[in-house]
Structure 1
C-alpha cells in the first residue's frame, strides 16, 4: 500500500491510495496548486465557506473533478461542523452544495453512499481526511477527522454506519488516511490531550510526543488508526499517507501554517458505473 501525489492535469496535483482499486471507484486528495483563486486562497481552493469568490471555487471544483474523470455538477458536500453526524446520500442529493454552501447537507461531517457516479466531497486544511471503500458491497464514504471528530470516533462510527446501511464487512473495507497536520507540528493544550487520554486509554505512547518539555504533540493519524483497528478494520487495510500539511503548506492548505486564513483542499470519492 502507498500514497502517491502526482500531477493529474495541467498544474493540478492530486494524491491517491494504491490500495483503492481504480476499477471500483475514483478518488483523490487535492493539493493547492492549479486553480484560479487569488491570495490568501491561492490557488485550487475547493471550499465555498472560507471567503473566497464563489465563481473561482466553482471553476476550481470543475477543474479538479474533471481531472478525476468526475462530474462537478453532481458532487455532494456537507456543512462541516466538527461533529459526528454521518449522512447516507443518494442520487436525489446530487449537486447539493455544488454551487452554493446554503444547500449543502446540513451539520454533517461524514458522507456515505452506494450510488454510482455520485462524487462525495469534503474539505480540509489540517484536519484529517478519512476515505472508505468497500469493493465487495460497492460502497464509499469520507469522514472529517478534526480533533473533535477524531476524539468522538467519527472514523469508527462511519465503519459501523456502512455496516448498518450496506451490510459491509469490516474485513472488506479499505481505509485511506489522507494528508493532515502531523505529530511533528500539531501541538495541543492540556484539555485536548486529556480528552484523547480518556478516549484512547492505554495508547499514550502512540498518541503523544513531547519534543520540548511542556509541549505536547498529538498524532491524529495514530488516533484514527487505533479506532479503526478497534472497529475491526484489519491493519493491512488502513493506508496512512503520513504527509503533514503544515510542513508542506506550499503544496497543501494548512490552517495553522497559513495563519488561519486560507483555502481548503478536498477529499473526493465516487463509485464507478459497472460495465
Structure 2
C-alpha cells in the first residue's frame, strides 16, 4: 500500500497513506466516507501490520472542521478504529504522551499536520481544512501545549502533509476575507483576473501559524503533493465521493 513515511526512527513513526489502485476502495482509510466499512477496516489492518502495531492501537476522531483538540490517554486506545460511533466526538486535533498509540487524521484536500517533541515524547495530529485554518486550530493547540503542558515549542518538529495546492484552491471573496482577517495570510493569496477567483495557500498559512506559536521554521516540513493533481491523491474538490488519506503518528515504546 502506498504510504508517504515522513519520520521513521527509534522513537517515532509518522506518515500519510496515499491513494492506491491496487487496494480496496483505492486505499481509502475513512469509515465516514466509504462504500463498505469492511474494506476500510481491512485497509487499516494492513497499515497496522506495516506499522507493527495492532488495529486496537489506532485513535480516531469524528472531525467537524472545529478548533477542538483532545489529549489522548490510554483509555482512548482503539477509539474509532473499527466503528465511527466510538471515535472521539467533535474533535480535529489529538495529542498524547503515551507510546504505542497511533493518532490518526483524515483528509482529502484539507491540510494534515503531524508533530512530535523530541524532548518529552509528545506526538499529535491536526486536521486543518480552510475552516480549521481560519479558526486557527494549529496556533491554538500549540499555544495550549506551551501554556498548559509546559511544552517547549523549540523542541517540536512539524510535518505538513499533502493537500490541495494553491493553484487548485479557488475561493470567492467571502473566504478570501476570512483569511485576510487573520492578519498574516496576505502573502499566501492572489487574485486571478481571468476567473475572478482568489487562490489561497492553506499549507503556508498553517506553517505561519506554527511559526507564530514558536516552532522554528527549519523544523517545519511540507509535502507539496497536490491531492487534486496527483494520481496518488484523494480530492473532495475534484470528486465529492472521494476516499480519505490517513495521516498518522506514533511514539514507539522503548524497551
* Structure-2 separation of matches of 1:210 and 1:70: 47
Superposition CA RMSD, Å = 1.6
Shift of 1:160: 2.1
2:8–2:14 CA contact under 8 A, matched in 1: no
**Paired residues, number:** 255
Q: Which moved more, 1:183-192 or 1:203-212?
A: 203-212
* Secondary structure at the counterpart of residue 153 of structure 2: coil
TM-score (norm 2): 0.95
Are 1:260 and 2:240 an aligned pair? Answer: yes
* Structure-2 separation of matches of 1:113 and 1:159: 13
1:140–1:269 CA contact under 8 A, matched in 2: yes
* Structure-2 separation of matches of 1:87 and 1:24: 22
- Counting only pairs closer than 5 Å after superposition, residues 122-271 of structure 1 correspond to structure 2 as 122-201=105-184, 203-208=185-190, 210=192, 212=194, 214-248=196-230, 250-257=231-238, 259-271=239-251
Stretches of structure 1 lacking an aligned partner (at least 5 in a row): 1-11
* Structure-1 separation of matches of 2:193 and 2:3: 31
CA displacement, residues 172-219 of structure 1 (integer Å, 9 cap, x when unaligned): 000010000010100011110000000134x41333353735121110
Stretches of structure 2 lacking an aligned partner (at least 5 in a row): none
The correspondence for 2:10, drawn from 23, 41, 44, is 23
Q: Which moved more, 1:153-162 or 1:131-140?
A: 153-162
Change (3 A) 1:35 1:86: farther
* Structure-2 separation of matches of 1:23 and 1:167: 24
1:7 corresponds to: none
- Counting only pairs closer than 5 Å after superposition, residues 27-176 of structure 1 correspond to structure 2 as 27-33=14-20, 36-37=23-24, 42-176=25-159
Shift of 1:36: 4.3
1:272 corresponds to: 252
CA displacement, residues 76-97 of structure 1 (integer Å, 9 cap, x when unaligned): 1000000010000111110110
CA displacement, residues 142-161 of structure 1 (integer Å, 9 cap, x when unaligned): 00010010111111122123
Shift of 1:35: 6.0
Change (3 A) 1:271 1:211: farther
Change (3 A) 1:113 1:216: same
Shift of 1:165: 5.0
1:28–1:68 CA contact under 8 A, matched in 2: no
2:228–2:235 CA contact under 8 A, matched in 1: yes
TM-score (norm 1): 0.88
Are 1:13 and 2:9 an aligned pair? Answer: no
